[in-house]
């Protein structure tokens, strides 16, 4: 096996061991590596966070031919999050210091979908823009990430009891909680 791959795997293993954190299912945040431990706190990690989940739901209902307004869809997700995560739960989004402003989309997963690069053929740019705007017009929680992407790899976390912080001040990884995405 390539020595560079072995060294990278060992570096990732050491990072995981040093940055393990108890799982907290009260929120979901993006798998973006720039989240600090204070911003991610063991929350469910999936690309796009709650907004990515909403995008997937939109793709499914579009594929099934279900008609629902963006306002209703966002309201229903918000109600579901409160039922599952508690009365204080709101839809979370993130941006970054490079994308502050009225049309801010700092999440690369969401931005790519707006550019027409969604992985689901039934998610159209106008869906994502309208859903994003609907979220921002209502009660939501926004996290602003700092810095540039410097992720070394994607860490796929299996299990329901723990996760991994994605940034320790030096190293940065994308993080996806495989077994906790639909809690």
Token pair belonging to 127: 């869906």
**Residue span of the structural domain in which 19 resides:** 3-180
Closest CA to 46 of 179, 175, 183: 175
Q: How far apart are CA 160 and CA 117, in angstroms?
A: 30
Q: Tell me the pLDDT of the chain averaged across its residues.
A: 90
Burial of 98 (0-12, 13-18, 19+ CB in 10 A): exposed
- Kind of pairing between the strands at 162-164 and 28-29: unpaired
Task: Report the pLDDT value the prediction gives residue 5, as an integer from 0 to 100.
Answer: 67
Q: How far apart are CA 3 and CA 28, in angstroms?
A: 36
Confidence grade of residue 131 (pLDDT, cut at 50, 70, 90): very high
Residues in contact with 26: Cβ distance below 8 Å, sequence separation at least 6, in sequence order? 43, 85, 86, 89
Burial of 135 (0-12, 13-18, 19+ CB in 10 A): buried
DSSP secondary structure letters along 49-78: HHHHHHHHHHHHHHHHT----HHHHHHHHH
Number of structural domains the chain divides into: 1
pTM to 2 decimal places: 0.88
pLDDT average, residue stretch 149-154: 93
pLDDT of 142 above 60: yes
């Amino acid at each position: 096996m390539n020595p560079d791959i072995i060294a990278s795997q060992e570096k990732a293993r050491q990072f995981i061991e040093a940055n393990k954190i108890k799982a907290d299912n009260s929120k979901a945040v993006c798998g973006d590596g720039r989240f600090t431990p204070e911003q991610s706190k063991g929350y469910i990690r999936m690309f796009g966070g709650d907004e990515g989940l909403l995008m997937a739901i939109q793709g499914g209902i579009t594929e099934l031919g279900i008609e629902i307004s963006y306002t209703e869809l966002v309201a229903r997700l918000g109600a579901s999050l409160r039922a599952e995560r508690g009365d204080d739960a709101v839809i979370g989004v993130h941006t970054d210091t490079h994308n502050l402003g009225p049309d801010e989309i700092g999440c690369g997963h969401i931005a790519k979908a707006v550019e027409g690069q969604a992985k689901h053929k039934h998610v159209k740019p106008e869906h994502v823009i309208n859903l994003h705007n609907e979220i921002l017009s209502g009660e939501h929680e926004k996290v602003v990430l700092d810095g540039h992407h410097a992720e070394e790899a994607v860490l796929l976390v299996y299990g329901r009891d723990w996760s991994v912080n994605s940034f320790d001040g030096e190293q940065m990884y994308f993080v996806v909680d495989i077994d906790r995405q639909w809690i």
